[in-house]
Structure 1
Amino acid sequence: MVATAVKRRVAPRRRPSVDYEGMEQAALFNWLRWRHPEAWELAYHIPNGGHRLKAVAAKLKAQGVKAGVSDIKLPMARGGYFGLYIEFKASPPHDASVSDSQRAFLQKVEQEGYLAMVCRGLDEARKAIDVYMAWPRTEVARGSSGQ
């Protein structure tokens, strides 16, 4: 009996994906904590992105998750704006393009009185937040609705 060698085809190993955007965004929140602690207390990440199982995605969608919503919100009124929305992308060359739904969301919140922008990387986001926080606090006109 002659033994026949069978070659098994082994799939090449995929390189582990690196979440550059997530790492830079975490670094941004660490920086924000010491640079602008009052902003860090209010700023938050909106976890709309990512790949999920269909059942989980359907459940989250029913709970209000929407495509295109920006990554970061800072609900502090400055410079005539009600707050700041940042669509955060990793630094080049690891950045992704801005989707149509992300662009549309940024335009809609700008129409509602928020400053909305795309920041590519940690340095760009730091500069944007430093500038925003240096602006004077937006004064809210209180109406005479019996208050």
Structure 2
Amino acid sequence: MKAFSVNPSRAKPIDREGQEQAALMREIELRFPEAYALIYHVPNGGHRLKAVDAKLKAQGVKAGIPDLVLPMARGGYFGLYIEFKATVEPAAVSPSQRDYLRRLNEQGYLAIVCRGHFDAMEQLRAYLLLPATVAA
């Protein structure tokens, strides 16, 4: 009988960033239920068929959109956007992500990069401690 091995180049990649972000969402749900009720993930990334990619772009999908959005106004900001990067196998912030964060900041949002679960929780906690932004 032949022994068989798995070719490591064909192994299914592990989504470390997705795993860390899911853990982050579980902790937000436990520690900050009011924020959890509003925060959402923008599923902009991933690999798709070209036809699906074209359809989604036509519907408004854009490169560089941050991963998480919290539409709670605090500290003079209109809301919080987080570009989430894993601590394991950290990825660089792409030029389109950097540009989008800059544009959001110019519009009065707090748009930041968080490297891992701990960093994101610290930034979220600090943001939630800011006084509510009052609309005039």
Could you tell me the TM-score, scaled by structure 1's length? 0.86
**C-alpha distance in 2 between matches for 1:116 and 1:11:** 42
Check if 1:53 corresponds to 2:49: yes
Structure 2 residue corresponding to 1:88, chosen from 84, 88, 113: 84
Check if 1:133 corresponds to 2:128: yes
> Any gaps of 5 or more consecutive residues in structure 2?
none
Give per-residue Cα distances to partners, 1:89-124, cap 9 Å, x unaligned: 0014x1100000000000000000000100010000
Other-structure match for 1:144: none
Secondary structure of the 1:39 match is helix
Other-structure match for 2:14: 18
In the TM superposition, residue 34 of structure 1 has moved relative to its aligned partner by 1.1
Check if 1:120 corresponds to 2:115: yes
**C-alpha distance in 1 between matches for 2:64 and 2:7:** 34
Structure 2 residue corresponding to 1:100, chosen from 75, 95, 101: 95
Counterpart residue identity of residue 46, structure 1: V
Other-structure match for 1:43: 39
**C-alpha distance in 1 between matches for 2:104 and 2:62:** 14
Secondary structure of the 1:47 match is coil
Query: Percent identity between the aligned chains?
Result: 57
Choose 11-20 or 123-132, whichever is displaced more: 11-20
In the TM superposition, residue 16 of structure 1 has moved relative to its aligned partner by 2.7
Check if 1:30 corresponds to 2:38: no
Counterpart residue identity of residue 132, structure 1: Y
Cα separation, partners in 2 of 1:11 and 1:40, compared to 1, 3 Å: closer
**C-alpha distance in 2 between matches for 1:16 and 1:49:** 17
> Any gaps of 5 or more consecutive residues in structure 1?
1-9, 142-147
Could you tell me the TM-score, scaled by structure 2's length? 0.92
**C-alpha distance in 2 between matches for 1:33 and 1:96:** 26
In the TM superposition, residue 11 of structure 1 has moved relative to its aligned partner by 8.9
In the TM superposition, residue 12 of structure 1 has moved relative to its aligned partner by 3.1
The total of aligned residue pairs comes to 131
- Taking only aligned residues, the RMSD between alpha carbons, in angstroms, comes to 1.4
**C-alpha distance in 2 between matches for 1:132 and 1:125:** 10
